[in-house]
Amino acid sequence: MTTEQFDFTSFVEGGRRDLATLVRLESVSAQGRMLPETADAVTRLLEAEGFTVRRYDGKVAPVLLAEAGEGPRTLLIYNHYDVQPETPSELWDSPPFELTERDGRLYGRGASDDKGELISRLAGLRALKARHGGTLPLKVKWLIEGEEEVGSPSLADFVRDHASELTADGCWWEFGSIDPAGRPVLYAGLKGITCLELRCRVAESDLHSQFGAVVDNPLYRLSKALASLRDDSGRVTIPGFYDDVRSASQADLDAVATIPDESASLEETYGIQGFLGGASGAEFYRRLALEPVLNINGVHGGYEGQGSKTVLPAYGFAKLDFRLVPNQDPEKIVALLRAHLDARGLDDIEIVELESHEHPSRSDLSHPFVRLAVDVAREVHGQEPVLHPSSGGSGPMHPFVEHVGVPVVAAGIGNLGGRVHAPNENVRVADFGAGVRFACEFMDRLSRM
Amino acid sequence: MTTEQFDFTSFVEGGRRDLATLVRLESVSAQGRMLPETADAVTRLLEAEGFTVRRYDGKVAPVLLAEAGEGPRTLLIYNHYDVQPETPSELWDSPPFELTERDGRLYGRGASDDKGELISRLAGLRALKARHGGTLPLKVKWLIEGEEEVGSPSLADFVRDHASELTADGCWWEFGSIDPAGRPVLYAGLKGITCLELRCRVAESDLHSQFGAVVDNPLYRLSKALASLRDDSGRVTIPGFYDDVRSASQADLDAVATIPDESASLEETYGIQGFLGGASGAEFYRRLALEPVLNINGVHGGYEGQGSKTVLPAYGFAKLDFRLVPNQDPEKIVALLRAHLDARGLDDIEIVELESHEHPSRSDLSHPFVRLAVDVAREVHGQEPVLHPSSGGSGPMHPFVEHVGVPVVAAGIGNLGGRVHAPNENVRVADFGAGVRFACEFMDRLSRM
């Protein structure tokens, strides 16, 4: 039975109703709003499909681990039911917690990230069961947390502690997207991340700037530190920073070479004044997917108003993030940074770690599980998929690879105009429907692999 | 006739009444408040003492040029009648525009800077006339502007255009102070200044920080620029920066060597974590008075809230001031900075000049006019005066030296706790009285020099 022969209409319709139900629940994890209630609603939806659902206490919200079906193959799915805050609410064109269709899109907080993803998969699973006479022809283990938007503080420990229960043939990650040309975009990895603050203080209170003759300047100290961390090409200059970087595989390099070059579109959208090293095409995507990066998120200290103020600031700070690639270790990077600053006489610069690290992770692009996702995406969308060896972004993928030992692939229903994390978050109706079909076919094909 | 034999009481009392009158006039130049009215009031006070007062249009407020007296000597006095804004008003313990005595101090906006200085001189002039039977035994030229607190935008041109009318044996600058030990503190120079903003933009809007892999970071570019401008000792590293610096005279070096070392007190007051190069004593004051300085007033760009935000900012800026010494030229310094940045591949850093420059100026410490001020201060205060070859701060002194060709000395009634430019600005009653005596004796001695 193929995609063309099966009518998904009723399953897509059912999914839209369930998505409306979930969007109505204001599960903002940053504010601790309606998290147990949303876990309850997800549990009811899963139990209705025959899942047994175990519920665990997370640091912020319940973690759900559900299981259903039987077969020679096992699929692990990871999603989350929490969402970003809806603020600024006044910028929404329809109520943020009311799923609203307009111009071929469904608007609402979580419509894409991640309730839309979750529900499209559930609707696909229902279709699969219908296709198989009411039974699920593979084992599905579904891990659904409610803390993703606050950095998944419980997830790494949970995955480690429950690794033996999570074993599977592969893990289907919580997101994915459709590009402006209608191509499905898949990812086989995420970068790691560590977010830091550098702080420098020279006095307890600001001074008149004449004292710059005799008192050091915290913004000079910070500038010296920041300027020492990379070169003009963007390469990080902290000794040892690249020591643990795993060489990109030929498959990784081949993959970035086939990604359609959207760099000019990015350049225009953001008004970017050129790319580092004039990168485009394969080099652009190689850097984005495979190179570790130091980024300065902010620097602040002293006067910021109109005109001049002749002040010598007492204090300044900088915020940084390091995006890491396998096998860099966030804690080691922080230690290397400390040693680098100390060796340059910058031991007065304090390093503060802002939140929990995430380790980098990339799966083997040639793994049959990853190839299956690509093949099914090609069939469902009728276009050659775009497979990134890694997103340029970060997320809690590493514990699945490290502790469970599964390959991971990200495929889903997001779109460039989906305004994830922003007002007017949306999913295209057509992409939601395609997501239902993809879920059904992906699980069906996996069950027979 | 000596200080001891003359009773200044009634002149000090009269000065206090006049000061109360002037403080009541809210002559905030930054807000254009009551400037012509205050110029009127000052004109009335001067005309009552026989001055002919000419009034000129300044860019912001009237400029007054008054003249009275006859004799072989001529004194040029410079003061200003405008004041800083009184905000934040709620931090005043008495109404800012009502001269109020408390605990031996007179509180009010302008009580010290600069209405207190101006009126103490006027009261001293009245005493001098009384001592000389109603005549003024020297010519006094008094230049009083109303734009000092907004950077004296009209003054340099005015002094140049009226240089022939301003000739004198010396110029008495608008301020001076009494230190915590009761020593009079005089200055024979001011540093020059140029205030700049460095700006860097890489895109029209902020990006997700993953794009740090392919898009440059404006805060890295700014940090690199800032770090390149000086070394750890504070020495400016812009090629040519020191080329025009006039060597300090032996008299300048001798003067800084005799300044009582208050560096430890400064260190404690501001909680300073050590001085550049461990400077104290003569070296501390040499740097403060005689060395040019680059100071970073502020750096801002990107995220500044709690925790982390993985953003790549589109834009950042830094504010700088250069404090200059003779014979550095502010415009040349800006050109050297531009060339330095360009030579380092930092031609993407824009330089914006924030306000009009001020040139540096230092008078000869051995000039009889400067020595006279020191001698009279010693007699009036009964303590050895402290003579700084230059303040570490800046002001519009240079046109007087350059165009009029007069030596300049600053002596006055300020004090460390005087809260100039801040709420609860004040002058000590005793210092105001000493200022009246100093003015009388200084002019009397000059008339006989």
Reported as a single tens digit per residue, the pLDDT across A42-86 is: 999 999 999 999 999 999 999 999 999 999 999 999 999 999 999
ipTM of model: 0.91
pLDDT in tens, B362-381: 999 999 999 999 999 999 99
- Distance in Å, alpha carbon of B221 to nearest chain A alpha carbon: 8
> How many A/B residue pairs have CB atoms within 8 Å?
262
Q: Indicate the residue of A214, A287, A293 with minimum beta-carbon distance to B288.
A: A214
- Report A:258-277 residues touching B (Cβ under 8 A): 263, 266, 270-276
Q: For residues A75 and A88, give the distance between their C-alpha atoms in angstroms, rounded to a whole number.
A: 38
pLDDT in tens, A418-448: 989 889 999 999 999 999 999 999 999 999 9
Question: Domain B3-190+361-447 is in which class?
Answer: alpha beta
At A4, the pLDDT band (50, 70, 90 cuts) reads: low
CB proximity A321 to B under 8 Å: yes
B360 close to B187: Cβ distance less than 8 angstroms: no
Taking an 8 Å cut-off on Cβ atoms, the answer to whether B308 and A314 are in contact is no
- Report A:282-311 residues touching B (Cβ under 8 A): 284, 287-288, 291, 293-304, 307-311
- Distance in Å, alpha carbon of A391 to nearest chain B alpha carbon: 9
At A241, the pLDDT band (50, 70, 90 cuts) reads: very high
B226 vs A contacts (CB less than 8 Å): 219-220, 223, 227
B340: CB partners within 8 A, 6+ apart:
B228, B229, B238, B239
At A167, the pLDDT band (50, 70, 90 cuts) reads: very high
Q: For residues B412 and A96, give the distance between their C-alpha atoms in angstroms, rounded to a whole number.
A: 65
Q: Indicate the residue of B209, B215, B316 with minimum beta-carbon distance to A276.
A: B215
Q: For residues B140 and B224, give the distance between their C-alpha atoms in angstroms, rounded to a whole number.
A: 53
* Contacts made by residues A126-135, CB under 8 angstroms, sequence distance 24+: A126/A11, A126/A14, A126/A49, A127/A6, A127/A8, A127/A11, A127/A436, A127/A437, A127/A439, A127/A440, A128/A439, A128/A440, A128/A443, A128/A444, A129/A49, A130/A11, A131/A1, A131/A6, A131/A440, A131/A444, A135/A69, A135/A70
Taking an 8 Å cut-off on Cβ atoms, the answer to whether A304 and B300 are in contact is yes
Indicate whether A2 pLDDT > 60: no
Scanning B272-367, the segments in alpha helix (DSSP H) are 281-290, 330-343
- Distance in Å, alpha carbon of B191 to nearest chain A alpha carbon: 9
Scanning A145-303, the segments in alpha helix (DSSP H) are 155-161, 218-227, 250-258, 263-270, 281-290
B90: CB partners within 8 A, 6+ apart:
none
B141 close to B65: Cβ distance less than 8 angstroms: yes
Mean local confidence (pLDDT), A311-333: 97
Mutate to test the interface with A, among B193, B284, B293, B308 (most CBs of A within 10 A): B308
- Distance in Å, alpha carbon of B361 to nearest chain A alpha carbon: 15
The answer regarding whether domain A3-190+360-447 maps to CATH 1.10.8.50 reads no
Give the pLDDT score at B61.
98
The DSSP secondary structure of A119-139, one letter per residue, reads HHHHHHHHHHHHHTTT--SSE
Taking an 8 Å cut-off on Cβ atoms, the answer to whether B310 and A321 are in contact is yes
Taking an 8 Å cut-off on Cβ atoms, the answer to whether B308 and A355 are in contact is yes
DSSP β-bridge partners for residue B80: B145
Mutate to test the interface with B, among A177, A191, A223 (most CBs of B within 10 A): A223
What is the average pLDDT score of chain A? 96
Would you tell me how many other CB atoms lie within 10 Å of the CB of residue A347? 10
Taking an 8 Å cut-off on Cβ atoms, the answer to whether B303 and A298 are in contact is yes
- Distance in Å, alpha carbon of B214 to nearest chain A alpha carbon: 5
Mutate to test the interface with B, among A215, A236, A299, A322 (most CBs of B within 10 A): A299
Give the pLDDT score at B356.
73
Give the pLDDT score at A437.
98
The answer regarding whether domain A192-245+292-353 maps to CATH 3.40.50.2300 reads no
Q: What is the DSSP letter of B275?
A: -
Would you tell me how many other CB atoms lie within 10 Å of the CB of residue A48? 11
Q: Buried b / exposed e across B30-40, counting CB within 10 Å, b at 16+?
A: eeebbbeebbe
Q: For residues B372 and B394, give the distance between their C-alpha atoms in angstroms, rounded to a whole number.
A: 23
pLDDT in tens, B90-137: 999 999 999 999 999 999 999 999 999 999 999 999 999 999 999 999
Mean local confidence (pLDDT), A18-38: 97
Give the pLDDT score at B285.
97
Going by C-alpha positions, the residue among A113, A152, A120, A111 that lies closest to residue A15 is A120
Cis, bond preceding A179 (omega within 30 deg of 0): no
Question: What is the domain partition of chain B in residue ranges?
Answer: 3-190+361-447, 192-245+292-353
| Residue A397 exposed, middle or buried by CB count within 10 Å (0-12, 13-18, 19+) | buried
Going by C-alpha positions, the residue among A221, A200, A307, A352 that lies closest to residue B223 is A221
Taking an 8 Å cut-off on Cβ atoms, the answer to whether B302 and A299 are in contact is yes
